[in-house]
Amino acid sequence: MIKNQDEGIAFKIMYFISFAFFYTLRNGIYEPCKRHKFLIVLYLGLFIFGFVFPVLFVLLLGVACSISLYCYIMTYKERQKEKYFNNLFAEIKFFSESGEVPRYKFSEKISPLASKIVFNSCIPVSHWQKKKDILQSYLNAKIIKIENSENNYRLIHLILQDEAMPSHINWQDSYFNENDNIFNIGLSYAGITSLDLKNYPHAFIAGETGSGKSNILKCLIYQALVKNYDIVLIDFKRGVSFAEFNEHIEIAYEYETALKIFQEMTQETKQRLDLFRAMSVDSINDYNNITGEGLPRKIIFIDEVAELLKTRDKEISKLLYESLETLTRISRAVGISLIMGIQRPDSTIINGQIKSNVPFRICGRFVDIEPSRIMLGDTIASTLPNIKGRFIIKGDTLEEVQSFYFDKRILYNLPVKAKKEALAEVLIEEAVDDTLREETALKSENKLDFDFSDIEL
């Protein structure tokens, strides 16, 4: 009996030593070397020189054991999570067809509001959706989204809400993105949500009165000013909602003026395309990099595109439609963008061609489902809470976003304003010079230059 006990103890000791040895090889040498290539040189050098200086074998083993112990301590929580999820999936009978439970990979914080848990699983996302309610109960957290990894369909991502989305977020210049193409809109569970004009040169912003649609436009206008875009705002309410920008941008509120702007932009788009063809480039970024000319980027903001297109003058309406269709179709690469607000989407106003050329959509809450379906191809906007500034954004995916609130006091320190004032001073100086020249010319004209030869005495 004693002999059997001794053999059992000896076996356990040998098992522990073998486990520790292979664990050290894996977590102290193999895994670290995969992440940090310089360790390969270190271990290889210690191994080679160990034949000459055996003490280096001890050093090699010490380094490997130290790294292994560090990895063991640092991964303790992850191993506990893996154990927890294995038990959870077994308890709720969540198996693949082969009887395997999803294997926990890792978790990480993806934004101030949410975390992501990643599993290796052959179970389709649709089956995960069926288990969503029970998973939420066990995790004691709201599951915002269940999706496959973009690069590996065997990896399942669970996006969990850590904190509720705030109902108000003031814009701060710390939210500003230095990339000229990127305009930040608000905060989602995935982090800051942006409009990248390189990928999406045009956008629709839909929302009922009071939804915060104009506020998003203001926030985008402000960022465009800081980025030195050339900006035009078309607003048939005569710019009342955008009064704080009067000194900074051109505001058009007549149909004839709007048509002239569209025709000029259409002509400039064609001219820029000719320039790009001559330089063998296909984007404004490439053209500016090669020529160094700094071809300006331009944005046309339209507060209510339906109002723009419903003029009773059929000729102007036709020309506006044609210009809008042309711009949305061909201005993608030349740095001319359209950001169009619309109170209520209607397929009779916005035709299919314009919609297909403007895939980026920002949609506020609608009581009925049809406007949401027109904008997003989904009824999700009708389920939004009645919170001002809360929108669904459709870019690569559908995301719920709380848009930044724009405070007009930010304009007091706007860098572009100083540049405009400096430009105004130059224009004043030029005007003064012109006035002096005109006065000099006038004086010379007023001099008596007669010879009196034709005057009869």
Number of other CB atoms surrounding residue 218 within 10 Å: 23
**Chain-centroid distance, C-alpha 228:** 19
According to DSSP, the β-strands at 250-252 and 298-302 are: unpaired
What percentage of the chain reaches a pLDDT higher than 90?
35
According to DSSP, the β-strands at 230-234 and 191-196 are: unpaired
pLDDT of 304 > 70? The answer is: yes
pLDDT of residue 155: 93
pLDDT of residue 354: 80
According to DSSP, the β-strands at 230-234 and 298-302 are: parallel
Q: Where are the domains of the chain?
A: 24-74, 94-161, 169-415
Is residue 265 within 8 Å of 338, Cβ to Cβ? no
pLDDT of 429 > 50? The answer is: no
Q: For residue 217, which of 228, 231, 230, 196 has the smallest C-alpha distance? A: 231
Q: Is the pTM of this model over 0.75?
A: no
> Is 169-415 a domain of CATH 2.40.70.10?
no
Q: For residue 27, which of 62, 82, 66 has the smallest C-alpha distance? A: 66
Q: HSE on the CB side for 68, CA within 13 Å?
A: 18
Give the model confidence (pLDDT) of 34-76 as tens digits: 666 666 766 677 677 667 777 776 776 777 777 766 666 766 7
- The token pair at 125 is 């996302």
Grouping H, G, I as helix, E, B as strand and the rest as coil, residue 15 is: helix
Is residue 303 within 8 Å of 238, Cβ to Cβ? no
d(CA 230, CA 246): 14
Give the pLDDT band (50/70/90) at residue 413: low
pLDDT of residue 132: 93
Grouping H, G, I as helix, E, B as strand and the rest as coil, residue 375 is: helix
- The separation between the first and the last C-alpha atoms of the chain, rounded to the nearest angstrom, is 159
Grouping H, G, I as helix, E, B as strand and the rest as coil, residue 129 is: helix
pLDDT of residue 314: 79
pLDDT of residue 100: 85
Q: What dihedral angle (degrees, nearest 10) is formed by the CA atoms of 134, 135, 139, 140?
A: -40
- Comparing 438 with 396, the larger pLDDT belongs to 396
pLDDT of residue 418: 37
Give the model confidence (pLDDT) of 224-245 as tens digits: 999 989 999 998 887 788 888 8
- The token pair at 56 is 């280096």
94-161: what fold? Alpha-Beta Plaits (3.30.70)
